[in-house]
């Protein structure tokens, strides 16, 4: 049998209380003697799982085990009635996932940390190919002096004698309908089930201080502006070693000067002259995947679309990239030289179109004077 209690339950040392409970439920059902009448080893395995759960489910016993190992936990917890109590209700909870006979557990232990939100700005290129960003949000972080326990160096939190470590105080009152049981958070330990005989001077017993946390954020390709990424338990530290909150990273996409995103497609306004649109031309477009050739057919109209497949934004669901769509914008020149105006006038005459005559330039008037 393994001597590592985390290995017994198939967990990592960074597991949460919910992970411990789920692992115990699964293994208890698997190795319970009643479910394995022909396997004598199942009973020993069940006892091993039960013993590991008794230690790791209690925050204080788990802390002692993490620091001192099995021997330290046994020595410190030999007279700990609250941690050693394991009976029918725990077994009922393992098999049915609930509390037996109306019993409710007290919300003992440090509270969970609050959630926080942090915004990052990305370029369109980073959205297309994905990126790994390092962020440094300011938030409550674990106190390095006490390791987040809130207790001074050399000391540790102790079980609250007022609530016996449950974090709540119950009162029984008699009424016409019988006994009425009410529960309220323990005022001595603030509902944590633990008290600090010697608080840490750095954090004043809170277990956390304000600081900066460095985090690497993996931004998936195709994420959209305004979407959020959830970093579970990587947010603000909780008081006195509780479970940290979540950090939500909000994505902001910087406008691109050349491309506009529409779904998984990219739209590019591609300018061409009236001559290029009429006669056709070949252009080179600078894209996020390098230079791409574009062929404009003769007679292309303003607003026509030329589609370059697979050069858009990847889909978050399928990973398939959209298209890059060139929207042709036929540009009419705002000013013409005398020669250009005369050529266009000749062109209009050949097509039988009525246009305003081009203005006579200075050199034309000089030529006319000598004729």
Domains and CATH numbers, the chain: 1-105 (1.10.287.110), 107-157+196-255 (2.60.260.20), 259-331 (2.60.260.20), 338-369 (no CATH)
**C-alpha separations of 119 from 138, 217, 281, 367 in Å:** 12, 11, 44, 69
**Residue 199 carries which DSSP code?**
B
- In sequence order, the 6+-apart residues with CB closer than 8 A to the CB of 283 are 270, 272, 293, 294, 295, 296
- Confidence at residue 256, expressed as pLDDT on a 0 to 100 scale: 96
Q: Are 220 and 201 in contact (CB under 8 A)?
A: no
- Confidence at residue 359, expressed as pLDDT on a 0 to 100 scale: 65
- In sequence order, the 6+-apart residues with CB closer than 8 A to the CB of 232 are 246
The per-residue pLDDT string of the chain (371 residues; one tens digit each, 9 = 90 and over) reads 446 888 888 888 888 888 898 888 888 888 877 777 778 788 888 888 888 888 888 887 887 777 666 654 544 444 443 333 444 444 444 444 444 333 334 445 678 899 999 999 999 999 999 999 999 999 999 999 999 999 999 998 899 999 888 888 888 877 666 677 788 888 888 888 889 999 999 999 999 999 998 999 999 999 999 999 999 999 999 998 889 999 999 999 999 999 999 999 999 999 999 999 999 999 999 999 999 999 999 999 999 999 999 999 999 888 999 999 999 999 999 899 999 999 999 999 999 998 887 665 544 544 454 44
In 3D space, the residue among 255, 245, 264 whose CA is nearest the CA of residue 325 turns out to be 264
- Confidence at residue 266, expressed as pLDDT on a 0 to 100 scale: 98
| pTM score, whole prediction | 0.60
Beta pairing class for 265-273 and 324-331: parallel
- In sequence order, the 6+-apart residues with CB closer than 8 A to the CB of 188 are 160, 162, 163, 195
If you search the block for the tokens 């590991």, which residue do you land on? 52
- Confidence at residue 67, expressed as pLDDT on a 0 to 100 scale: 67
| CA–CA distance, 105 with 102 (Å, rounded to integer) | 10
- Confidence at residue 26, expressed as pLDDT on a 0 to 100 scale: 87
């Amino acid at each position: 049998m393994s001597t590592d209690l985390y290995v017994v339950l198939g967990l990592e040392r960074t597991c949460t209380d919910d992970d411990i409970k789920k692992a115990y439920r699964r293994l208890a059902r698997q190795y319970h003697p009643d479910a394995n009448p022909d396997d004598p080893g199942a009973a020993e395995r069940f006892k091993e799982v039960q013993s590991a759960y008794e230690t790791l489910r209690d925050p204080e016993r788990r802390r002692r085990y993490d620091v001192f190992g099995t021997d330290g936990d046994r020595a410190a917890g030999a007279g700990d009635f609250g941690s050693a109590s394991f009976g029918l209700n725990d077994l009922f909870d393992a098999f049915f996932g609930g509390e037996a006979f109306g019993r409710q557990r007290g919300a003992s232990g440090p509270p969970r940390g609050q959630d926080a939100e942090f915004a990052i700005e990305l370029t369109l290129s980073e959205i297309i190919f994905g990126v790994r960003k390092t962020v440094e949000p300011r938030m409550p972080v674990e106190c390095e002096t006490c390791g987040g326990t809130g207790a001074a160096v050399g000391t540790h939190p102790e079980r609250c004698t007022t609530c016996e470590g449950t974090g709540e105080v119950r009162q029984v009152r008699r009424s016409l309908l019988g006994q009425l049981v009410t529960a309220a958070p323990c005022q001595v330990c603030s509902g944590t089930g633990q008290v600090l005989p010697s608080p840490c001077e750095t954090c004043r017993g809170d277990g956390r201080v304000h600081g900066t946390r460095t985090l690497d954020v993996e931004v998936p390709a195709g994420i959209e502006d305004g979407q959020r990424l959830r970093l579970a338990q990587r947010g603000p530290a909780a008081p006195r070693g509780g479970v940290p909150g979540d950090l939500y990273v909000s994505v902001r996409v910087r406008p691109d000067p050349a491309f506009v995103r529409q779904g998984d497609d990219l739209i590019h306004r591609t300018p061409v002259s009236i001559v290029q649109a009429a006669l056709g031309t070949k252009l080179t477009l600078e894209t996020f995947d390098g230079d791409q050739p574009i062929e404009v057919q003769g007679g292309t109209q303003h607003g026509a679309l030329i589609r370059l497949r697979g050069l858009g934004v990847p889909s978050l669901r399928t990973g398939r990239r959209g298209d890059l769509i060139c929207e042709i914008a036929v540009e009419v020149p705002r000013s013409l030289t005398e020669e250009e105006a005369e050529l266009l006038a000749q062109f209009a005459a050949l097509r039988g179109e009525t246009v305003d005559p081009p203005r006579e330039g200075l050199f034309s008037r000089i030529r006319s004077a000598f004729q």
